[in-house]
Structure 1
Amino acid sequence: MTGPDATFRGQAEPLGPQEVRALAGELGIKPTKTLGQNFVHDANTVRKIVTVSGVGRDDTVIEVGPGLGSLTLPLLDAAGHVVAVEIDPVLAERLPRTVAERAPGLVDALTVVGADALAVSGADLVGPGVPSPTALVANLPYNVSVPVLLHMLAEVPTLRTALVMVQLEVADRLAAAPGSRVYGVPSVKAGFFGTVRRTGVVGRNVFWPVPNVESGLVRIDAHPEAPWDLGEAHRRRVFSVVDAAFAQRRKTLRAALSGWAGSGANAELALTEAGVDPKARGEQLTTADFVRIAEAAARLGIGPAHREP
């Protein structure tokens, strides 16, 4: 199971700068902004990511966007199995061969899923010989980092931890506390799945090509027994309340949720039932507060799910 620090078998060395460029040249790969491709080429950085993730031999790790395999190799060296989700068919085809060349003893521990991480389902990530995933560790594409993270957390309920590298500004938003200037939808939704904290800053020069921004590491530890883990329909209802509250974040919750609830009076009724001040604003509420609002609205028959289409 996941622990405070990962340990390595010593069977796989990360890719260095020259090896990353050589592989990219062999494949005719030119990193694109469209796919958010920035390949990590610093061995210390990828080892740090795996170490902070705490994955161990009993873990099955999902890696989104493995690219050339810079992070995949140390993940295989520490974890029991790695399921790599890669949208680029050229990279997806090359990755098993890279592992076979550099760490032949670990090649059977790799499963490559050629798919868009935003469209892949939890069922796509398991199969014969592949245990249920327990951890997500990834250098996420900047342009879709939050949607991919939330999609994976929702699709794979067996995840106990997630350690992702994202744009530093996004890391701050994900880990923000209520009342913070950057607290918003990503903060609340990530908090639905677990405890979120920022665990480090990554400089620009460890990437090729060098991005225009710094990156941050964010770790999410699943709630041991979230009292609101009641299934997909419940999560969607909670998230719809969050979206409505922050769509007009300067308005009071009574006003911001009036459209969602069907009227201002309905919104106030649901808020009062949940023990939330109707004059408060969304940026002041915790994830648990939003869950109580959704649950109260459901009990009272208030909200989109209870209105005629």
Structure 2
Amino acid sequence: MSTSPGASAPSAEDALLGPADIRELASALGVRPTKQRGQNFVIDANTVRRIVRAADVRPEDVVVEVGPGLGSLTLGLLQVADRVTAIEIDEILARHLPTTVAARLPERADRFALLHQDALTVTPEDLPGPPPTALVANLPYNVAVPVLLHMLERFPSLERVLVMVQSEVADRLAAKPGGKLYGVPSVKAAWYAEVKRAGAIGRNVFWPAPNVDSGLVSLVRRDPPSTTAARRDVFAAVDAAFAQRRKTLRAALAGWAGSPQAAEEALAAAGIDHRLRGEALTVEQFAALAEHRPRPAQV
């Protein structure tokens, strides 16, 4: 279905982009999806509807979307949310997306905004309108975790997040203590939110089809663990514990604490067995550990 200026606007049911629409848009813009930017465009309208439902998008929501591409998910979000702001780093895609929105959902176009910027540099001051309440995105595989953590940190107004990422990344984000997949992304995401898998996405709903399956991850904001330690100090302990994840915490945290003995003492003060490994600790335990990090001696 064409989105040229002379074409009539499609009905709400037909406003979403299908495979032919995606290819027509890409051809008209001279766009060739690149691996460098992790561009895999969703071509299945039912998958878009499923993502919007899984994200629990509400009529009062102000949604921020990262990496909208040609607008598949953007249109689905705009049909439900009060406002949508899309953050797109690709200049060609960013320039054309407002045209697609105006052609396919003209009655909602005034509720859409486009920010041509790298999501890793976006701050609340950059976004127009009210603070976002939800983040919904098909995140590029190569920057999914950094973008997610950046948005959670910089936008405390976000109440709910639903991201589509590589299946393995989804498993790592939602992993619980004690498993092999539990690691830095798991702990840092848990600092901000309750995290769970929200479904699997096959390869055939994308163009081009990726070489891996995708998964949905749901994050619902909660208060961080109660601690006197700053978030950056807790995250420093997390990074140190998993930098050498095969080692016991006493050994892995030696550099972080100043020595193996100092690490053991900090762990004991936090009520943690120094013989454990990082994968055994909850985010609350990492927070307690950070409170007992030895301070450099004053000269």
Shorter-normalised TM range? over 0.9
Aligned residues: 288
Take 1:101 and 1:307, find their aligned partners in 2: how far apart are those partners?
A: 65
Partner Cα distance (1:81, 1:229) in 2: 35
Residues 1:141 and 2:137 aligned together = no
Please tell me whether residue 283 in structure 1 is matched to residue 273 in structure 2. no
Alignment counterpart, residue 76 of structure 1, candidates 72, 78, 82: 78
Q: Is the 8 A contact 1:12 1:77 kept in 2?
A: no
Matched, 1:30 2:32: yes
CA distance in 2, matches of 1:75, 1:174: 24
Distance of 2:102 and 2:159 partners within structure 1: 29
What is the match of residue 160 of structure 1?
A: 159
Q: Kindly provide the CA deviation profile for residues 142-200 of structure 1, in whole angstroms up to 9, marking residues without a partner as x.
A: 11111111111111111111100001111111111111111111111111111110010
Q: Deviations over 1:204-230 (max 9, x none)?
A: 00000011111000001111x334488
Q: Which residue number corresponds to residue 96 of structure 2?
A: 94
Q: Contact (CA 8 Å) 1:137, 1:164: kept in 2 or not?
A: yes
Match in the other structure for 1:196: 195
Instruction: Tell me the residue number matched to 2:242.
Output: 246
Give the equivalent residue in structure 2 for 1:59: 61
Helix, strand or coil at the partner of 1:71:
helix
How far 1:10 sits from its partner (Å)? 4.2
Structure 2: where are the runs of 5+ without partners?
1-10
**Per-residue deviation at 1:110?**
0.9
Stretch deviating more after TM superposition (38-47 or 88-97): 88-97
TM-score w.r.t. length of structure 1: 0.89
Q: What is the CA-CA distance between 1:12 and the residue it aligns to?
A: 6.9
Query: Structure 1 runs of 4+ off > 4 angstroms?
Result: 9-12
Tell me the residue number matched to 1:270: 266
Q: How does 1:175-190 map to 2 (within 5 A)?
A: 175-190=174-189
Alignment of 1:255 with 2:251, yes or no, is: yes
| Secondary structure at the counterpart of residue 118 of structure 1 | helix
Q: Which amino acid aligns with 1:270?
A: A
In 2: Cα distance, 1:307 partner to 1:142 partner: 43
Deviation, structure 1 residue 123: 2.1
Kindly, what percent of the aligned residue pairs are identical? 58
- Please report the TM-score for the alignment, with normalisation by the length of structure 2: 0.92
Match for residue 236 of structure 1 among 210, 219, 232: 232
Which runs of 5 or more residues in structure 1 are unaligned?
1-8
Partner residue of 2:120 out of 118, 121, 132: 118
- SS of 1:61 mapped into structure 2: strand
Distance 1:202 1:27 in 2: 27
- Name the structure 2 match of 1:6: none
Secondary structure of 1:178 counterpart = coil
In structure 2, the partner of 1:4 is none
How far apart are the structure 2 equivalents of 1:265 and 1:12? 65
| Rounded Cα–Cα distance in structure 2 between residues aligned with 1:123 and 1:192 | 24
